[in-house]
Amino acid sequence: MRNKKYYFILLLIITFFSGCGETNYILKSETPPILEGFIGFRWTTPMSIVDSEFPERTGATPLAVPDSYNVSSFSNVHFLDESADLCRFHFDYKGLKSVELVFYTNPYTFEDKLIKLKEKLSSVYGKPVELMGRRNPFEPPEFLTKFSWYEKRLKLISLPGYTIKIKAYGFIPHKIILNN
């Protein structure tokens, strides 16, 4: 009799954890703490769940991008009430690794969009660290201005050509841990 109760409890626990796995990948907030995830998904979310849930939940349009291994791309994406032209989710064997939002602007809207995004991100994530791009007379700058939060896990980058990017990482990009 005791063994039957033990097996029943074990079966109940296994059923509970296997039945609730997928819902743990989705966050209740679009802008959670960066340590948990980004744009509504936890950092461990598999590509298949993002591909099926993101368009359904947000109305984003999936894009077929050739030669993009472990990358899901979408257009018509809204983040902090701003419309992004492109959103890319990057995955590795553990799940979601990074998210990139791209805003294409023009000379007339570039500065306003950058200021709005910085203010909105600052209201959620706090005061950023600001870095100005280097000026080299022989090469175009890699970026104009970069704002970062949480040890560079979240970045707002203004690029030449009136492009603005938001990059979020599930890891600290400047720390590489080598296993010996």
Please report which helix (H) or strand (E) contains residue 155, including its range: strand 154-159
DSSP labels, 23-77:
GGGB-S-SS--TTTEETTEETT--HHHHHHHHHHHH-PEEE--TT-TTEEEEESE
Nearest-angstrom CA–CA distance, 100 and 90 = 8
* Percent of the chain scoring above 90 in pLDDT: 57
Q: CA Rg, the chain, in Å?
A: 20
Q: What is the pLDDT of residues 40-95, one digit of tens each?
A: 999 999 999 999 999 999 999 999 877 778 999 999 999 999 999 999 999 999 99
Nearest-angstrom CA–CA distance, 40 and 49 = 12
Predicted confidence band of residue 12 (pLDDT cuts 50, 70, 90):
very low
Q: What is the pLDDT of residues 139-170, one digit of tens each?
A: 777 778 899 999 889 999 999 899 999 999 99
Burial readout 31-70 (b: 16 or more C-beta within 10 A, e: otherwise)? bbebeebbbbbbbebebebbeebbbeebebeeeeeeeeee
State how far Cα 68 lies from the chain centre. 17
Predicted confidence band of residue 29 (pLDDT cuts 50, 70, 90):
confident
Q: What phi and psi values does residue 32 have, to the nearest 5 degrees? A: -80, 175
Mean pLDDT of 15-30: 63
Please count the other Cβ atoms lying within 10 Å of the Cβ belonging to residue 130: 11
- In the predicted model, is pLDDT for residue 17 greater than 70? no
Say what the pLDDT of residue 90 is.
Answer: 96
Q: What is the pLDDT of residues 80-115, one digit of tens each?
A: 999 999 999 999 999 999 999 999 999 999 999 999
